[in-house]
A and B are shown apart, each in its own frame.
Chain A
Amino acid sequence: MTVARFWRAIPQRYNMVGTKCETCGAVFFPPRSVCPHCRRDGKIVEYQCSGKGKVMTFSVVHSASDQYSEMKPYVLAIIELEEGARMTTHVICEPEEVYIGMPVKSVFRVLDREGSDGIIHYGTKFVPDVA
């Protein structure tokens, strides 16, 4: 992950700003600049996601790439946001706690560190949304 690519993605990663196609109503997070359904007929605008969603599927990862090895085991999941968009993310909870359909909400967290004095990457993770 280069610095340039990391900083470019900040607004989306920090604030869950996605996009919406005003033609068909679909919300995209991660954001898209072209609507995959309407293509050139789509009208894309910024859209603030609520950060609330539910677990569609998950895995507890025990063997990770070097970058994430400190965090293992971690819960990897596909979340469907209440706006309908889906994303791949971490859920911060006990591995035995997660289940399909679990309500979750976004939180701002450290994603990883490039060594002890390298860049710290921040971004969105999810936690159980207990009412």
Chain B
Amino acid sequence: MREVAVIGAGITAFGELWDTSFRDMCAEAGVKALEDANVVGEQIDAMFVGSMSAGRFIGQEHVGALVADYVGLGGDLHVPATRVEAACASGGLAFRQAVAAVASGMSDIVVAAGVEKMTDVADATDVLAGAADREWESFAGATFPGLYAMIACDYMNKYGLTREQLAQVAVKNHYHGARNPYAQFRSEITQSTVLKSTLVASPLRLFDCSPVSDGAAAVIVCPLERAKEFTDTPIKVLASAQAGDTIALHDRPDFSTMGATVAAGNSAFKQAKLERKAVNFVEVHDCFTIAELCAIEDLGFVQKGTAGKFTEEGQTQIGGKLPVNTSGGLKSCGHPVGATGIKQVWEAVQQLRGEAGKRQVDGAEIGMTQNVGGTGATVVSHIFGRV
């Protein structure tokens, strides 16, 4: 297999983008990525678009073709475009398909994009519930906050995590998001903001939850050996891993351990031939505050049950031992579901190029991403390094 590099990345603002359509968001992120990579349309061999539920959010299917056509890769150039769906891991999985296409030798220059238009739709809670088991979870009244709340309840009972420690995840992610010009929420918050916010599903409150967002992100990959044709600062893909688990949370042996995160993390570190301590920062799937704590434990960065204390000590903030979610995470940067996995790659690229501005992690050499579909039925994880 060929080695793969990211040579360009682009993103839209995340938020309630009332005046920007699904296709315009894709075009904006895609054009930025192409400009960043110095690539023109004629050079593109394939495109993968991550989208969780365009069919239900905006009534549009066939979004691979739609996006390719709208940016001028369809009609004249006939670029093959494929939509990838794995709930909130759609973006991460689209990136993995792009990496696989290049690694296999099937394609050379490939676009991986992610997009979702979620605001201004009928019942986002119900659409998102489609990422769980519709017949046996959603039908029983399980919402996504409810499912993650049951993870939090189990975790707090087992490990003595405090409500205050949980709140600290959101406080830290808002601190980071305030330093990201593309983030949906660019204001810092305090612990009491979280603890006084509306109860959504006990013990989770509004500020434990990522928002409903619009947004898109795109990156360009090519064989590592060709990367210097396009950029002085290619970012090498050191590992690409995906793992699965039961679709329903109730079928997991341990509700507060995501087996797919453990499996994908182990696979990624094996591929990259790296130890955990080599990683300088990580972008994980904090759809809810509890998810971030589980993620850094399941990836092996800290021992099970200790992530709350680690967070409370400030170790996951920029300047700490392991900065987590420097982009602001899903919580503060926003969570347009299909776009999130590509946003994580975009952030890794910014950090490894040293272009993350006020949220730059000093001397970042190795970064990792972890993107979750549902309550962990699909997990996609990547490791990146400077060339």
Contacts and interface: CB of A to CB of B under 8 A. Distances in A.
B255 A65 contact: no
A71 B141 contact: yes
Contacts of B313: none
Contacts, number: 105
A66 interface: yes
* Interface size class, chain A: 20 to 34
* Interface size class, chain B: 35 or more
Contact of B126 (A30, A59, A65): A65
B106 interface: no
A90 interface: yes
Contacts of B135: 5, 9, 30
A107 interface: no
Interface stretch (B245-253, B347-355, B360-368): B245-253
A64 B133 CA distance: 16
Contacts of A9: 135
Given A59-B202, A86-B250, A66 B126 contact: yes
B127 to A, nearest CB: 9
A61 B157 contact: no
Given A76-B142, A89-B140, A62 B153 contact: no
Interface stretch (B144-152, B225-233, B302-310): B144-152
B326 interface: no
A65 B134 CA distance: 13
B120 interface: no
Contacts of A60: 199, 201-202
Nearest to B122: A66
Given A68-B141, A76-B146, A88-B248, A62 B136 contact: no
Nearest to B141: A68
B141 A78 contact: no
Interface string A56-99: 11111111111110010010111000000011111000010000
Contacts of A62: 198-202
A100 interface: yes
11 contacts: A1-B139, A58-B153, A59-B201, A60-B201, A62-B201, A63-B125, A76-B141, A76-B201, A88-B249, A90-B141, A123-B140
The 3 closest A-B CB pairs, nearest first, are A59-B149, A65-B126, A57-B154
